[in-house]
Structure 1
Amino acid sequence: MIRRVLAAFVLLVLAASGYVAWRAHQFLTVPPETPGRELTVTIEPGSGFEQIAGQLYKQGVVTDPLAFKLLARYTGQDSKLKAGEYLLSTGLTPQKVLDLLASGQAVLYKLSVPEGLTMVQIARLAEQAGLGTAASFDKAARDKELLARYGVPADTAEGYLFPETYRFTRKPGNDARQVVEAMLAQFRKAAAKVWPQDPPQGKALHEAVILASIVEKETGQGSERARIAGVFTNRLNRKMLLQTDPTIIYGLGEKFDGNLKRVHLDDPRNPYNTYQHPGLPPGPICNPGLEALKAAASPETTDFLYFVAKNDGSHQFSKTLDEHNAAVARYQLRKGK
């Protein structure tokens, strides 16, 4: 009798062990769903492992939160999971889920910033990409400590937000600070290419960036940038007014309706009105790209003092006012008629 009881007990233990082994094998090798569904999972900073496991279970990424916890403890990954937004799938095995969360390979969102945009425009792009509010971008771009860390000799990051294609993870709190930091860091890398030997600092750097921003807004022709920078440099050296429309437009801000009028050119209240105020404007009027920075750093040496658009994307350059007036009559007044 005792032998029969012992035999039955052994059979039960073996059966239970087999069932546990089978369940463990199922958990480790069979994903929750086949085919799987992709879904976004956000792990908030400070989340404990039990909270994360429960969240994954509720979203259908794992079938057993306790088994998931035991697996993570066994592999040593229970303390290595990183906060962030992840693209997961119900078709993943638990080990693959753990590996992804421990790797920190969160979802990356692309932000493409073309040359010539203002700080306000870039802030809106960042908000549209879901990388933080425009207000948080503006706040970071005016943070004196942050600007000083990246050597920006100004009160805002205008001009120093380097145009590039970036990829970011979305940060909790809808804060765009990381975008501003990345763009400032990229500017420093670009500046090292423009001035590899002796990069300017302080006022000299700021004046170069201001000039580059004007060049960026004046032409989209790469071959003309250095020549246009040379024209403005010649005018500055001769104490001539720069008389460039893009600076006025920048100073008008949201009030500009697309139609630049004589009253705008005659208004001395606009500090960016280079028809009224001598020298460079108070600050950059956009965020220039690498080629515009190079042009400002190495202006073309010529005797040109004027240029006018030829309505084909290029410009006619002149050395004298008479030549310039003739070019204006040819390319602009004729266009008006």
Structure 2
Amino acid sequence: MAGNKPALRYIGFAGIVLCLGMMAVGSWFLYRAWTFLNIPPEDPGQEVRFVIEPGSGFLGIARDLRKENLITDVKQFLALAEDRGLTGSAKAGEFLLHTGWLPEKILTTITSTPGILHRFTVREGLPWWQVAKLVEQAELGSYAEFDEAVHDPELLARFHIPADSAEGYLFPETYMLTRARESSARSVVEMMIREFFKNAKQALGELPEPDKLHELVTLASIVEKETGDPSERPAIAGVYANRLRRPMRLQADPTIIYGLGPSFNGNLRQKHLLDGENPYNTYQHDGLPPGPICSPGKAALQAAADPQDHDYLFFVAKGDGTHHFSKTLREHNDAVGRYQKWGRNRKDYTSRKREE
């Protein structure tokens, strides 16, 4: 036993060294973890606009955060997110972060806030191509990508839209949207369609079958384009309802204009009225046009679903944003002579009612 004492002393010494080494390593890891959680990458730091694209994995997000010096350690950030159960909670969008923030605040911001929101407003009565231009101007997607999404058969089938485009179903509203590097044009189209169905249910209650709803949206879109004074929507809807019952051609200028497409220069001429090749020419074709001609709002949908009960068959703009309604062609022709032949020369002539 005496001969083994040096060996035992050596083993004991090695054990102490090993323990001390393990303690040192442990202390080093604890120190790294403490500094990661409590010391920001920069002091005082600076703002960084950081974008998370749809479908991004958390590891890729952590690596991008490290590249922007928003965190100091990718693995520790992953460990922090795993500890909080947030590795699957990062939101796509644009975030205003800061290199002077601690990792906990960075993690909370990208997993529990919507990021930077941009106001995007679409007014009633715009055709899809004008909405596409607004999307492009707002840097929410390109015109071409919006066009593709509006005409995507798979998307139309998913929302049960019986047409070759989502025209009429892009609900006019003010949206607060996040912006990403990659185009989000398709997501904007889907969001506007969902908003349409939400508002249509509020306006109409139980929605009719897709084909009937499409006819109603088509009529509502014409009402929207023809209305200068919002209070007249039910009356204008009543005129078209009366014409459809006769049957009598709608003879609505806005339908012709829509059929001429984005290249229309604003000058509606006699040749356009006589063009039977234009499927949207309601002077030449019976009934409703093939589909909606713009995005109608909730009030126009309500007017189309419940038109005013009257005997009017004609209306003409009076020049102050309102219309004169007539029951006979003779009365209508007199009104045209009174309001339009001389009225369009007035400087204050307008087809829409002015805001008070």
Shorter-chain TM-score range: 0.7 to 0.9
On the 8 A contact 2:51/2:180 being kept in 1, the answer is no
Q: Which residue of 2 aligns with 1:102?
A: 111
Residue identity matched to 2:195: Q
Does the C-alpha gap of structure 1 residues 299 and 55 become closer, same or farther in structure 2, counting only changes over 3 Å? same
Q: 1:90 matched to which residue of 2? A: 99
Relative to the length of structure 2, the TM-score reads 0.82
Deviates more, 1:300-309 or 1:132-141: 132-141
**Which residue in 1 is equivalent to 2:246?**
238
CA contact (8 A) 1:81 1:104 kept: no
Q: Deviation of residue 254 (structure 1)?
A: 2.8
Q: Residue 15 of structure 1: CA displacement? A: 10
For 1:283, the equivalent position in structure 2 comes to: 291
The 2-side partners of 1:289 and 1:245 are apart by 20
| Aligned pair partner of 1:169 in 137, 159, 178 | 178
How many Å separate the matches in 2 of 1:109 and 1:32?
29
The verdict on how the C-alpha distance between 1:73 and 1:308 changes in structure 2, with shifts beyond 3 A counting, is closer
Match of 2:319 in 1: 311
Counterpart of 2:330 (choices 304, 313, 322) is 322
2:7 is matched with: none
Instruction: Determine which of 237, 240, 263 is the counterpart of 1:229.
Output: 237
Distance 1:23 1:263, change over 3 A: same
RMSD between aligned residues: 3.1
What does the per-residue CA deviation read over 1:87-106, in whole Å, with 9 as the maximum and x for residues that have no partner? 21123211111122333634
- AA partner of residue 255 (structure 2): T
Do structure 1's residue 135 and structure 2's residue 144 form an aligned pair? yes
Give me the whole-angstrom Cα distance separating, in 2, the residues matched to 1:239 and 1:77.
Answer: 62
Written as runs of structure 1 = structure 2, the 5 A alignment for 1:84-233 is 84-103=93-112, 105-170=114-179, 173-197=182-206, 199-233=207-241
Q: After TM superposition, give the deviation of residue 74 of structure 1 in Å.
A: 4.5
* Selected match of 2:279 from 262, 265, 271: 271
Contact 1:159 1:209 in 2 (8 A): yes
Cα deviation, residue 172, structure 1: 6.3
Structure 2 CA distance, aligned partners of 1:81 and 1:247? 46
Normalising by structure 1, report the TM-score. 0.86
CA distance in 2, matches of 1:221, 1:125: 25
Instruction: Give the whole-Å Cα distance in 2 for the aligned partners of 1:114 and 1:236.
Output: 28
**CA drift at 1:42:** 2.3
SS at match of 1:111: strand
Q: Partner of 2:97: helix, strand, or coil?
A: strand
Q: CA deviation at 1:68?
A: 3.5
**Aligned partner letter, 1:144:** P
Alpha-carbon distance between aligned partners in 1 of 2:21 and 2:152, rounded to the nearest angstrom? 69
> Following the alignment from structure 2 to structure 1, what is the Cα–Cα distance between the partners of residues 55 and 212?
45
Aligned residues of 2:171 and 2:295 also touching (Cα < 8 A):
yes
Deviation at 1:80, TM superposition (A): 4.7
Pairs aligned (count): 332
Q: Which residue of 1 aligns with 2:342?
A: 334
Pair member with larger Rg: 2
Cα 1:47–1:319 change in 2 (3 A) is: closer
Report which stretch shifted further, 55-64 or 263-272: 55-64
Q: What is the alpha-carbon distance in structure 2 between the residues aligned to residue 202 and residue 12 of structure 1?
A: 74
3-state SS, counterpart of residue 254 of structure 1? coil
User: Greater shift after overlay, 56-65 or 76-85?
Assistant: 76-85
Question: Does the aligned pair in 1 maintain the 2:129–2:262 contact within 8 Å?
Answer: no
Q: Secondary structure at the match of 1:208?
A: helix
What residue identity is the alignment partner of 1:153? Answer: P
Separation of aligned partners in 1, 2:79 and 2:291:
59
Q: What code does the residue aligned with 2:306 have?
A: S
Contact 1:84 1:104 in 2 (8 A): no
Q: CA offset at residue 317 of structure 1?
A: 0.8
Distance apart, 1:109 and its partner CA? 3.1
Counterpart Cα distance in 1 of 2:176 and 2:258: 28
Alpha-carbon spacing, 1:40–1:225, altered in 2? closer, same or farther (3 Å): same
Q: 1:243-285, CA deviations, whole angstroms, 9 ceiling, x for partnerless residues?
A: 1111111111133211111121122221111122221111111
Give ranges in structure 2 of 5+ residues lacking alignment.
Answer: 1-18, 346-356
Q: Is the 8 A contact 2:220 2:303 kept in 1?
A: yes
Aligned-partner SS, 2:116: coil
Helix, strand or coil: the match of 2:272? helix
